[in-house]
Structure 1
Amino acid sequence: MDRSGFGEMASPVIREAEVTRTARKQSAQKRVLIRASQDEIFANTTPRNQVIPRTPSSFRQPLVTPTNRSLLRQPDVFCILGTGGRSPRLTQSSGFLGNLSMVTNLDDSNWAAAFSSQRAGLFTNTEPHSVTEDVTLSAVMLREDDPGEAASMSMFSDFLQSFLKHSSTTVFDLVEEYENICSSQVNILSKIVSRATPGLQKFSKTASMLWLLQQEMVTWRLLASLYRDRIQSALEDESMFVITVLNASEKAVVEALFQRDSLVRQSQLVVDWLESIAKDEIGDFSDNIEFYAKSVYWENTLHTLKQRQLSSYIGSVRPLVTELDPDAPIRQKMPLDDLDREDEVRLLKYLFTLIRAGMTEEAQRLCKRCGQAWRAATLEGWKLYHDPNVNGGTELEHVEGNPYRCIWKISCWRMAEDELFNRYERAIYAALSGNLKQLLPVCDTWEDTVWAYFRVMVDSLVEQEIRTSVITLDETEELPREYLEANWTLEKVFEELQATDKKRVLEENQEHYHIVQKFLILGDIDGLMDEFSKWLSKSRNNLPGHLLRFMTHLILFFRTLGLQTKEEVSIEVLKTYIQLLINEKHTNLIAFYTCHLPQDLAVAQYALFLEGVTEFEQRHHCLELAKEADLDIATITKTVVENIRKKDNGEFSHHDLAPALDTGTTEEDRLKIDVIDWLVFDPSQRAEALKQGNAIMRKFLASKKHEAAKEVFVKIPQDSIAEIYNQWEEQGMESPLPAEDDNAIREHLCIRAYLVRL
């Protein structure tokens, strides 16, 4: 059917059952049940990590970071920057927010709460495993006391494996892998939460874990985006991008602005990042939205007006608009039919949701599908004007953009200010025109509010550049002075955020990951380190383990790039994380984090860990791990032995005052006996083994603990004296053994003679 107008269109029949309000709710409920069943059965068919470009190559709504930047890279940093590819992101299929058209009875506040609950949105991308395996996984996890913690335990080793696999030249590939690990874990936790019994405390913990890992995932995404650009910018001469052409177009001027101005460029990266988060949450609208039958908008109003023209009409005569052009309800100040008004409100909410997610083209397609091509056209006017034919050429080229963009923008601003329009319609045009005051009322979360500020900041800076660099005819109207002359900085955005009157935004502003995201955006590493220090001093033992893992790997990322971090804070973060790994029995991971401490601290920290390792095979394994991590094994094992040897809870008794009979071996004595094992793994430590063994036996003999002394003696390999001489000779030493080693051998032989006679 022709969508161009209504005049020749026959009056549509009254809505059939499936499109009446009641039936639509019933149909929606039925679709929810079907959708839930399908998600349960077919959740594993979604392709894993479907790649969506984070920043398109052409200008987007309304601006985009240019991608074709000429680079002056040093070879090593070029390797670090990698290919410039974007982190893959998950595409949410129909789930919690995948079919918003089913939400038919939400008022504005409830709808906003439902939409903004990213925090509850479930990602449905899954590994392509079998349904049986998926169900088994969830069934096992559901039996755990804390399913979220149990399911996420593997992330500790996954992060270390990724870190060890990548060199310093592929650091951004490493960060993308971190994001992917978090993404996979989010999928698993989403399944657990979706199958959990509501109300149980352990599943509320899992939901909290899910939110925490979602925040970590998007923080790694932000980190890669910003610091790739910052490294790239540090190597460029920004003056090379100055435009000297007098008749440069809007598009050319803005492209040059993005090339040379890191504030504008990185602010747009923040906008892109926040839109990518929203896009992950809302999913694909294409198959889920049904507003109007046969792409006719305001169909019920049209039907009523047609019926009223009939002489036989006996229905309601309530006031309605008498014309159906787009401006009629505002111009006539008359309402639409109730069903049409309900559809209109829902449509505007969807459109704002799409604009918030950076999906302007999808919003335009939705408008066309709903019979509102005129509204799709209003979303087109932001495009920057560019005529490539101005500078000559043999062939005519296509002219881009809107030559009357300024008039369009003023119109959008005025619409956003007009209280006769729906709040979401005003917000749509506020976002397009940079009207922050009218955009903020629909932004109820930290992410939404930061998006509003940064989008308006970029819009304002770009508009200022266009008005100072592009020659235009005098306009009859101007945008407000406070918009055109705004002096935006990154710091100002977060100061404004702190001054908001929205309680939820203020609370979310204090959450750990939002604080991290703030300092990453500001590029303030020292400020971030100060926050880490506050967290450790305030609640070191209560910080989530995964947050400590993130903090540790973030510090290692900064070190890899050669960025300065506060050394004392970095050390405290590493030590706290190592202690967490010790407490949680992540034995295989401890050595590789310990090696990032200063050498003396690394020795003390690893020795402290080894004191609690009692099994012989496990001790050998821990030393092998220390060797792989390039730790000073000799000093560590010596420190372990000395620490345990010096522990003595009882007072020393001279042998003349001690009981005549042999005193029994205590648990503390057993630790001192077994500690010698640390020194016999490596033949090069035999001299140290003799010295420490002598000291322990000497103490036992003084306390008349003869059996304990004999057990220590047995721990020393019989070939130890010969091994000491052999190693001395292998070093090419012709002089006698050092006096310290020679005395240890003599004392050992004397103790042996004494023990033999007992």
Structure 2
Amino acid sequence: MNQSVDMNESDIFRRQRQARMSLDALVEGDTPMHRGREMSKTFKRRSTNVNFQKSLQLLDESVGGATPRGHQGPGGGYLRHSTYTPKHVSSGSKFDVTGLLGPTPDKSGLIDMSMNTVSDFYAESIMEEDVTTTNVGLLLEEDPGISASQGLYNDFLQCLQNNSSQQQVFDLVQEFENACRDEVTLLNKLLGRATKQQEKFRKTGNVLHLLKEETATWTLVGQLFRERVETDLKEMGVIDEEMAVDSEDKIEYQSDQNIMKMLFTKESSIRESQIVVDWLESCAREQLDAFSDKVKFFSDRAVAWENTLHRLQNQQTGLPMGTERPLVDEMDPDAPVRQNRMLDDLDKEDETRLLQYVFVCIRAGQIDKAQEICQSCGQSWRAATLEGWRLYHDPNFEGLRNDGCVAPVRGNPYRDIWKTVCWKMAQEAKFNQWERAIYASLSGNLQALLPVCKSWKDYLWAYFKVLVDSKVEQEIRIRTISSRPLEPLPSDYWEKMFEPITIFQEIETAEKVAPEISHWYCVIQKYLILGDTDKLLEVMSMWVRQDGEKLPGHLVRFMAHLVLFLQTAEHKITEDYCHVILEAYVQNLIVDKQKHLVASYVSKLSQNSQVLWYARFLEGINSKAEREECLKWAQEAGLDIPLITKTVVENIRNKDVVDFSQELEGPVGTTISDEDRQKIEAIDWLVFEPSQRAEAMKQANAVMRTFIAVRKHAAVKEVFGKLPGDSVDVVYKNWQRLTGSTDLPPSDMNGIREYMCMKAYIDAIDNFNDWFNLCHHGKPHKPEILTGASFTDRVAHDHRIKQYEQEVDRWHHNLMLQTKSTKARFYNVLLFADGGWMVDLVKDDEAERSRQLQMSQLRTLTLPYMCSLLHKVLHTTEQFTECLQLADLVSSEQHKLYEVFRKDELQKLLDLLRESSLAVLDLNRDPLGYELP
């Protein structure tokens, strides 16, 4: 019977062992498997509770609700000073710079309902419900991660606008961090409801990783720069150091804790190193939460090694052990090492799992939590070993408590002995690697700590924790006054006294983290920790120049806002690097069509860059309503709207260079291309604001010059129509309002004159087109009669002939009127007053040379062409005498039109005049058109 019971129990243990997850799978983060169906009551109770909790969670997710959440994750709230950092000094102490820097809001990782109002609780609940509802739509997006995180761009701008002063710079960093953390929470919920096998959710995972790193980096920025600003203020005497200590004599009671406090007070470098340690531990807390959800401990009776104990108890009652391997026969903590015997397999797995979890807690700065879990698993002795790191301090040397009683002593007076033992345990190969790493982290044994480090942050934590440990230990051993000699530490402890720069050099040689070293955020965090902002900006600007289009948008956004922070917090940084990064972000906003954000970030650039980038942005805006809105945003951002809109028009009209020197050939252009349409509509940018009417006129003139050069008369007319009819009057009124005078500057006078020249040209072309249509398409057609028509048809034909003759008379009369009007419009161009068509009236020394050249070339292209058209009108209407008078007009010294004719054009004009002269001879007149005597 006893043998049967033993066999059943052995089968139970075997099934349990097969069902449990291996350590390797646990390290990779997989969920541990449950034990077999036959299990102890203890495990059943634990398993039932876990399943019940999971059911509640699934039910909660299915209805879309969730409990209010706190801000957890990398860098949540104040960093925990887990090792040596003094407690936060209250207001009024030497560390209080709240009045200068503004308070930093304290955020805990858990929500305490006793500290929150009911309204705060409902606000959190409503936000959670909105997030859950939003997730349903985001799951359907092509790239949910990108869609879900688009709100960050707006949030960051809002943060900038809410914290615009220099005194709010650290509040700004805190809001950046909070905004990123909210997005991380949203994406975590989104991925929790998604099918992770889909490609688009892998992209969402990439976005989530970037935002987690960004959140952690903002935390680091806030903590490091707050410390550095406080240090600078102390050096400048803005903050009084009431507890400043420069010599050993100022320390009244030299306990280990006081010595450490004095070291932190006088050494900013050690404070920064501890901030890095605290930051790295805060980053690990999120992983701790995820790890604790997956780890299961199979003893809730506060009994360690319960399976080994059970076997030993069975052995005492005479039952077989059920295994051939020798197990320990004593249950003290040192038994496995002292006896060189094994624990039960299940206990060994539990032990390994427990040790790994304890190390993870220490890595996250949660030593208290590690002690609690040790006690709950029946290993109070191990919790006690984790207590020995605390620095010794007897507050009674500084005075009794207010009630006159003796205060309890804190810390370990034999810490030096405890530390030496921990060092030796970390060196002992018989111990589990996680156990060695636990005591290595507490004793500063770097070589035993690195084997369990997997990531770049783990390595960084290990090195900086050892750095702080060695600096504090060195200070204590120099200044402490003890009644006994301190236990010497091994020589290996003092071999390498690291500095931050050497730490990074050491890490960069580690093969295990080689892929991470060049990651964007690792590089950024490195230079932030080293305080080398110039090198940081140089590297970021290099990324932008080399891989600008390939960089993730959120990374560029982060770099741009980091630059804005540095410009406010730092006094001396390289502005050229800053501008490269900010311009890259502006370009991203333009490409992503974040139109409402562009103006605010363009305003952060230099004056010239503001005009360049916002003009480039406006070139892509075609809707009139959007153009007005973009100009409104520019005005709110304080941009130079007149100069920007002028640049927009110039950029657009200069895209296609027109050769004004080429001869006009071919028919008049009637089609308007898309490029032409863009140039025409560009004038609208200058018409919105009446104060820019003079500039609008000048730019419209420039566009019309290019269209006239290529004979696109329809386009010329549309450009002219963009300017309101009262433009000349508005220009005079604006100038009079500004100066009180009606005497316009030369540029405006010449612009108005050129505008009138354009009007004369358009009128001439329009009249010619009307004349041509009337002459060639408006003449009535003579009715015809068929051969052999009847009498009735002939009578009807006679009647139509009379009507035809009347219509011809009317047509001829209208043609002569139109000819007269057309002739007058042509003469307005050819004989333009005060110097001629396209000739400035006032000399302008600041005028663009290109404009003067274009106007001169346009006279050469247009005036001979206008003469030939006028000759065509006169010759067609048999006004031969006036045709011949064109020779007098061209050769006149008053107008000097002959100067704009080339030799071949003069020859063509003479050929036309010859035809008119021959026609005159046929009319029995002399060759010049005069009556013969």
Q: Distance in 1 between matches of 2:319 and 2:695?
A: 111
- Residue in structure 2 matching 1:143, options 136, 140, 144: 140
Does the Cα contact within 8 Å between 1:653 and 1:703 map onto a contact in 2? no
What's the offset of the Cα at 1:215? Answer: 0.5
- Deviation track 1:362-412 (CA, whole Å, cap 9, x = no partner) reads 111111111111111111111111112234556422211111111111111
Structure 1 residues 149, 316: closer, same or farther in 2, change over 3 A? Answer: closer
Q: Secondary structure at the match of 1:542?
A: coil
**Range with bigger deviation, 28-37 or 162-171:** 28-37
Q: Distance in 2 between matches of 1:136 and 1:86?
A: 29
1:62 corresponds to 2:83: yes
What's the offset of the Cα at 1:667? Answer: 1.8
1:83 corresponds to 2:80: no
Does the Cα contact within 8 Å between 1:90 and 1:280 map onto a contact in 2? no
Q: Secondary structure at the match of 1:236?
A: helix
Structure 1 residues 55, 613: closer, same or farther in 2, change over 3 A? Answer: closer
1:46 corresponds to 2:46: no
What's the offset of the Cα at 1:37? Answer: 2.2
1:453 corresponds to 2:488: no
Q: Distance in 2 between matches of 1:287 and 1:688?
A: 70
Q: Secondary structure at the match of 1:240?
A: coil
What's the offset of the Cα at 1:481? Answer: 2.5
**Which letter does structure 2 place at the counterpart of 1:448?**
D
- Residue in structure 2 matching 1:463, options 431, 450, 473: 473
1:280 corresponds to 2:300: no
Q: Give the aligned length.
A: 705
Q: Which residue of 1 aligns with 2:244?
A: 240
**Which letter does structure 1 place at the counterpart of 2:144?**
P
Q: Distance in 1 between matches of 2:636 and 2:94?
A: 34
Q: Distance in 2 between matches of 1:150 and 1:257?
A: 49
* % identity of equivalent residues: 44
**Range with bigger deviation, 34-43 or 743-752:** 34-43
What's the offset of the Cα at 1:715? Answer: 0.8
- Residue in structure 1 matching 2:435, options 425, 438, 446: 425
What's the offset of the Cα at 1:136? Answer: 4.6
- Residue in structure 1 matching 2:260, options 247, 254, 259: 254
Structure 1 residues 573, 349: closer, same or farther in 2, change over 3 A? Answer: same
**Which letter does structure 2 place at the counterpart of 1:172?**
F
Q: Distance in 1 between matches of 2:129 and 2:475?
A: 59
1:618 corresponds to 2:616: no
Structure 1 residues 541, 80: closer, same or farther in 2, change over 3 A? Answer: farther
- Deviation track 1:484-515 (CA, whole Å, cap 9, x = no partner) reads 4643211011011011132xx11111100010
Does the Cα contact within 8 Å between 2:177 and 2:218 map onto a contact in 1? yes
1:267 corresponds to 2:264: no
Does the Cα contact within 8 Å between 1:680 and 1:716 map onto a contact in 2? yes
Q: How does 1:409-420 map to 2 (within 5 A)?
A: 409-420=419-430
Structure 1 residues 16, 374: closer, same or farther in 2, change over 3 A? Answer: farther
- Residue in structure 2 matching 1:668, options 662, 675, 678: 675
Q: Distance in 2 between matches of 1:459 and 1:264?
A: 10
Does the Cα contact within 8 Å between 2:612 and 2:647 map onto a contact in 1? yes
Q: Which residue of 2 aligns with 1:698?
A: 705
- Deviation track 1:134-165 (CA, whole Å, cap 9, x = no partner) reads 55533322222222112112211211111111
Q: Distance in 2 between matches of 1:415 and 1:746?
A: 96
- Residue in structure 2 matching 1:509, options 517, 523, 526: 517
Does the Cα contact within 8 Å between 2:358 and 2:370 map onto a contact in 1? yes
Q: Which residue of 2 aligns with 1:207?
A: 205
Q: Which residue of 1 aligns with 2:454?
A: 444
Structure 1 residues 635, 347: closer, same or farther in 2, change over 3 A? Answer: same
Q: Which residue of 1 aligns with 2:773?
A: none
Q: Distance in 1 between matches of 2:127 and 2:548?
A: 41
- Deviation track 1:327-382 (CA, whole Å, cap 9, x = no partner) reads 11111111112221111111111111111111111111111111111111111111
What's the offset of the Cα at 1:454? Answer: 0.7
Q: Distance in 1 between matches of 2:221 and 2:661?
A: 62
Q: Which has the higher contact order (CA 8 A, sep 6+)?
A: 1
**Range with bigger deviation, 346-355 or 728-737:** 728-737
- Residue in structure 1 matching 2:526, options 493, 514, 518: 518
Does the Cα contact within 8 Å between 1:697 and 1:712 map onto a contact in 2? yes
What's the offset of the Cα at 1:704? Answer: 2.8
Q: Which residue of 2 aligns with 1:113?
A: none
Q: Which residue of 2 aligns with 1:396?
A: 406
Does the Cα contact within 8 Å between 1:65 and 1:265 map onto a contact in 2? no
What's the offset of the Cα at 1:539? Answer: 1.2
Structure 1 residues 230, 203: closer, same or farther in 2, change over 3 A? Answer: same
- Deviation track 1:22-48 (CA, whole Å, cap 9, x = no partner) reads 484364995796476256337752323
What's the offset of the Cα at 1:558? Answer: 0.3
Q: Distance in 1 between matches of 2:321 and 2:88?
A: 63
**Range with bigger deviation, 379-388 or 314-323:** 314-323
- Deviation track 1:271-299 (CA, whole Å, cap 9, x = no partner) reads 11111111122228599743314111111
Q: Distance in 2 between matches of 1:289 and 1:720?
A: 82
1:154 corresponds to 2:158: no
Relative to the length of structure 1, the TM-score reads 0.87
1:722 corresponds to 2:712: no
Q: Distance in 2 between matches of 1:743 and 1:411?
A: 94
1:371 corresponds to 2:378: yes
Q: Distance in 1 between matches of 2:321 and 2:664?
A: 119
Q: Secondary structure at the match of 2:571?
A: coil
**Range with bigger deviation, 80-89 or 400-409:** 80-89
Structure 1 residues 445, 35: closer, same or farther in 2, change over 3 A? Answer: farther
Q: CA RMSD in A?
A: 3.0
Q: Which residue of 2 aligns with 1:568?
A: 576
- Deviation track 1:540-580 (CA, whole Å, cap 9, x = no partner) reads 21011110000100000001113332222111111111111
Q: Distance in 1 between matches of 2:107 and 2:504?
A: 26
Does the Cα contact within 8 Å between 1:440 and 1:449 map onto a contact in 2? yes
What's the offset of the Cα at 1:712? Answer: 1.2
Q: Which residue of 2 aligns with 1:187?
A: 185
**Range with bigger deviation, 666-675 or 459-468:** 666-675
What's the offset of the Cα at 1:315? Answer: 4.5
Q: Distance in 2 between matches of 1:154 and 1:297?
A: 51
Q: Distance in 2 between matches of 1:413 and 1:359?
A: 21
Relative to the length of structure 2, the TM-score reads 0.71
Does the Cα contact within 8 Å between 2:374 and 2:380 map onto a contact in 1? yes
Structure 1 residues 44, 173: closer, same or farther in 2, change over 3 A? Answer: farther
- Deviation track 1:448-507 (CA, whole Å, cap 9, x = no partner) reads 1111111111111000010001112444741123424643211011011011132xx111
Q: Which residue of 1 aligns with 2:316?
A: 309
**Range with bigger deviation, 423-432 or 715-724:** 715-724
What's the offset of the Cα at 1:679? Answer: 0.7
- Deviation track 1:156-176 (CA, whole Å, cap 9, x = no partner) reads 121111111112211111111
Structure 1 residues 481, 619: closer, same or farther in 2, change over 3 A? Answer: same
- Deviation track 1:219-274 (CA, whole Å, cap 9, x = no partner) reads 00111011011101111257923352364111111011111111111111111111
**Which letter does structure 2 place at the counterpart of 1:251?**
Q
Structure 1 residues 162, 286: closer, same or farther in 2, change over 3 A? Answer: same
Does the Cα contact within 8 Å between 2:64 and 2:129 map onto a contact in 1? no
Structure 1 residues 701, 211: closer, same or farther in 2, change over 3 A? Answer: same
1:589 corresponds to 2:589: no
**Range with bigger deviation, 62-71 or 207-216:** 62-71
Q: Distance in 2 between matches of 1:651 and 1:723?
A: 33
**Range with bigger deviation, 561-570 or 19-28:** 19-28
**Range with bigger deviation, 195-204 or 77-86:** 77-86
Does the Cα contact within 8 Å between 2:362 and 2:438 map onto a contact in 1? yes
Q: Distance in 2 between matches of 1:461 and 1:272?
A: 16
